[in-house]
Structure 1
Amino acid sequence: MQITRHFIDVRGARVHYRRCGSGPVLLMAHQSPRSSAEYVPPMQKWGAHFTCIAPDSPGFGQSARLPGGSDSDASGVGPDIDDFGDWVAALLDALGLGKVAAYGFHSGGIILMNALRRHPERFNALGVGGYAVWTPAEMALFADAYLPPFVPSAYGEHLTWLWHRVLEQSWFFPWFAADDAHRLSVAHDDVAKVDAVVQDFLDSGDAYRAGYGAVLRAPRGLPDADATMPPVLIAAYDGDPLQAHIDRLGALPAGWAGRKVATPGDLEDAMLDFLRGHLAPEPGALHEASDEGFRRVTTDAFDGLLHWRGNGDVVVPQPGGAVALMAGDAIDLPGSGLSDPWRGAPPEDWSAWQAVLDAAGGARLSPLPQGDPARLFPDLTPDRFGAYLTRAWSIVRARAVFDPWYAARAANAVPLGPDALDPARLARAHRALLQATSARAQMVARMGRN
């Protein structure tokens, strides 16, 4: 089932969302520090029953953060959980939606629970996968260590920390409590799973602390048992550290229930069954931004979404670049920026690339970088030890000093501007390089075109 991607402005800030399926609306809120990308598999399943709408929460994925506070302020100054709950209602207004059913996992569920309490008229029902009810001692433990700053360092040391932080989140909970008492039964070293979280973390950067912090500081009190509220199901599976919190929920309002299930699949099935019993209206046309979005393009070699921005003279970034690094109107070709990858191996025949460009309406090509494509763009496939992250950082740092980057000689020196080696600037280039899975093939194709 096809998923489409869109942008919309909510209270003047850009928000990215995914959409899939048809029928009644189901709003889906992801956990922190993930993005709506984590909901691609369930959206493809649940889209048979719902119009699934999964936004990137403020400060995560491709959504702008909420105003206020400082990323570097460890005290948690900034937006609070009420700001995020009110944002949900503002998002529904911006999309042109009234009442919806909703589902949130972990911190996404806490955001939706707050939105339901503040705006109960906007919900038919709410499903929550794992709801945290912390003890004072647990809260104190989180406050001290759970949300350290994530700031790019000159030589990429932050990336080594990031890889291990994400990997060991599946070994221990909380992630920094590396002892037998905090081991998890669901430990793994699945490179694809770790990389998916790493990529979302890189998109959020230090802003992850604002959204995550608001959730961790949020009051956990539930409505009184005699309160009249839309129905809610809270469930958690074996191995989820929040499953034990089902026993902490206490007396619940009528129509509310807490449930323990065996597997993640059982959780999805339970939520689907519950939410289908509380259907919301089918939506009309959803609103979206007119100056940025995703265009579906289908050719013999490509069938996917291309990210574009602007309505003027559209430019294709050079191989290894992305729309996010461009100042004006631009489009990401397959396997770069936010665009989908090629259906198979990226072609080295320019005709396949040109067919995609033609189908997308055409664009002007940026100049090619100089150098050997194979050396400019080595293999950056994710590996078990996270070496691809620091390898990519070494490339973008060297690229700011030499042209081509692999020719570290005086004759290839690049004049250094005042911010050439600024870690924040390198971080943006690093993110684009990791996304550029077809950069080498694109350069080879362009070098060989007629």
Structure 2
Amino acid sequence: MIERHYVNLPGGQLHYRRAGEGPPVVVLHSSPMSSAAMVPWIERLAADFTVYALDTPGYGQSDPLPYGGPDPEIPDYARRVVEFADALGLDRFVLGGTHTGSKIALATAVAAPERVAQLVMDGLGLYTVEEMAEQLERYTPPTVPVWHGGHLVEAWHRMRNMWTFWPWYRQEGERRLDESMPSLADLHLMTMDMLRAGLDWGVAYRAAFRYDARAALGGLRVPALLIAKHADPLHEHLDRLRVEAPTMTVHSVGNEEHLDRLMAAFDRDLGLPDAPPSPVVEHAGGTTRRYVTTEHGVSHVRIDGDPAAPPLLLVHGSPGSADSFDALVRDLAADHLVIAPDTLGNGYSTPSRAEDPRIGDFADATGAVLEALGLAGVQAYGSHTGACISLELAVRRPDLVSSVVADGLPVLAEEERADLLENYFISMAPERHGEHLLRAWHTIRDVMLFWPWYRQDAAHVRPTGPGETEHLHRLVLEFLKSGPTYQDSYRAAFLFESQARLAAAEVPVLVCAAPDDMLRQGSEEASAGEPVTFVELDPAAGRGAAWAVRRA
């Protein structure tokens, strides 16, 4: 089983995947991917090793480098690999990488030869001055969000082109690659990795283009192997080596045998000790992310603020994750210890293990996270779906929740509920030309314009606009994180009986909503009688969600 972990390093966290038992192997992905791209390596190597697949800083779920400035170099990334090994107690390890990962691995082996027992590289770029200049200029154009979402399709087709031409922007017959197009699921995963890397997704790419691998090979002192398959655009670079590297062997291999030969290259007989257990992530302030495993699934949890401050559970709405409320979390973390899980099936949390989950299942999972973290008597804030979960948790577990702020509770008539359940959800299945990305973009945009979003007539107009394009881009990425399981928490919220559960509450409940919230009227009508009160939010006047939490 592949586990996912974070580790605290100087200046930020690094995310990694771990599997297997035995001596340690660290593997590094290509740009602009994440450790998810290394799953085929992990699955094969885990039979003989403890495998650590790192998200390069600034990619996947790892924080950017805290040093190196806006344009770090490959040795800066190599320094992070050593810091990772130090934090996990890996004195010596086998190191492997592909493309950008090969250069980071090479720089690590040159800088810390006493730590690297063996180096395995899959493709190593050795560019001419002219190639480097052209690629620095053209290979990594920034993502520029546009109001119609076309930048998402542009990213999708750029990734397709990376499997079709070398370099991707030279769309000429003689530049075709002898590669099959990845599956739609893999292409979606890689495009999401590119988009999650930020608007300037090419930081590590450009570092790789600038890195002088030939000079580095001259200083290589550890046993090493360089391999490239015929279809790899870096295969032709094997003929460019022209360097004395006596500890390195070089292999050109066919496409079909590539993975087998690559996996066989990792030395099983180095006599390295077995890897130690991964350390538990401790929160000491700032922002900490970790995973919490319970009987309900694996929850990805964000923790912010002073560990000694009063604890506050924050539960996001659907679709999205805890990061959907980044500004709110940072505000509340000034005087609270904020615990913000991604609800199951959203963000980076696994789907619920319940076959057809209801709000009670999400509440139980959230309660189990609090118990695992040793927290009780917390104040809870939730928005929309999160309001349902927070309220239900308070009803079920008043020992865990001392009070609730429910921001926008769905109160639905049966006809409205049936209409939403039938029409609200869209297909998130990847499509060949990226149509699913546009569908996601315009669904989120239409949510800002109509309620419900699919009733696009004058009677259903909302008095709101889609906001700034970059903000909408972030919301859409949060939506896309969840994939098809985003429907589970939404459906549970539509089926939730808010009024009955408000009546069952024994702890104080403050219900609130902004005037332009589509759930505002129902929220107020449902909030009659102790221990429930209602207040109207007015963010423009400083009475937003954080104000409601501090008022409660």
Query: 1:310-329 to 2 correspondence within 5 Å?
Result: 310=303, 312-326=311-325, 327=329, 328-329=338-339
Aligned to 1:285: 277
Decide whether the 8 Å contact of 1:4 with 1:18 is kept in 2.
yes
Secondary structure of the corresponding residue to residue 306 of structure 1: strand
Matched, 1:390 2:438: yes
Matched, 1:406 2:449: no
Deviations for 1:321-351, whole angstroms, at most 9, x for unmatched residues? 211113242212332101123569x625556
CA distance in 2 between counterparts of 1:221 and 1:41 reads 28
* Percent identity of paired positions between Structure 1 and Structure 2: 30
Secondary structure of the corresponding residue to residue 318 of structure 2: coil
Q: 1:131, CA displacement in angstroms? A: 0.9
Structure 1 stretches of 5 or more lacking a match? 71-76
Q: 1:429, CA displacement in angstroms? A: 0.9
The residue identity in structure 2 corresponding to 1:174 is: P
Greater CA radius of gyration, 1 or 2? 2
The one of 179, 194, 197 equivalent to 1:204 is 197
Decide whether the 8 Å contact of 2:34 with 2:56 is kept in 1.
yes
Decide whether the 8 Å contact of 2:106 with 2:216 is kept in 1.
no
CA distance in 2 between counterparts of 1:446 and 1:157 reads 31
The one of 205, 209, 231 equivalent to 1:216 is 209
Structure 2 stretches of 5 or more lacking a match? 284-288, 330-337, 372-379, 386-407, 411-415, 498-552
Aligned to 1:73: none
Aligned to 1:52: 51
CA distance in 1 between counterparts of 2:490 and 2:216 reads 59
Decide whether the 8 Å contact of 1:133 with 1:220 is kept in 2.
yes
Query: 1:328-339 to 2 correspondence within 5 Å?
Result: 328-339=338-349
CA distance in 1 between counterparts of 2:93 and 2:51 reads 10
Secondary structure of the corresponding residue to residue 186 of structure 2: helix
Residues matched between the structures, number = 435
The residue identity in structure 2 corresponding to 1:380 is: M
CA distance in 2 between counterparts of 1:98 and 1:414 reads 59
Aligned to 1:64: 63
Aligned to 2:500: none
Q: Report which structure shows greater RCO (CA 8 Å, sep ≥6).
A: 1
**More divergent stretch after superposition (167-176 vs 89-98):** 89-98
Secondary structure of the corresponding residue to residue 213 of structure 2: coil
Deviations for 1:125-162, whole angstroms, at most 9, x for unmatched residues? 11001111122332233123111111322221211211
TM-score normalised over the length of structure 1: 0.87
TM-score normalised over the length of structure 2: 0.72
The one of 225, 230, 250 equivalent to 1:258 is 250
CA distance in 1 between counterparts of 2:188 and 2:489 reads 24
The residue identity in structure 2 corresponding to 1:161 is: E
Decide whether the 8 Å contact of 2:127 with 2:209 is kept in 1.
no
Q: 1:268, CA displacement in angstroms? A: 4.3
Q: 1:67, CA displacement in angstroms? A: 4.4
Aligned to 2:91: 98
Q: 1:298 to 1:222 in 2, by over 3 A?
A: farther
Q: 1:406, CA displacement in angstroms? A: 3.2
Query: 1:224-243 to 2 correspondence within 5 Å?
Result: 229-243=221-235
Deviations for 1:404-444, whole angstroms, at most 9, x for unmatched residues? 33344566555558xx6222211221011112322323222
Aligned to 2:34: 35
Q: 1:186, CA displacement in angstroms? A: 0.7
Query: 1:50-199 to 2 correspondence within 5 Å?
Result: 50-67=49-66, 78-188=71-181, 190-199=183-192
CA distance in 1 between counterparts of 2:45 and 2:68 reads 37
Secondary structure of the corresponding residue to residue 34 of structure 1: coil
Secondary structure of the corresponding residue to residue 488 of structure 2: helix
Aligned to 2:543: none
Q: 1:401 to 1:181 in 2, by over 3 A?
A: same
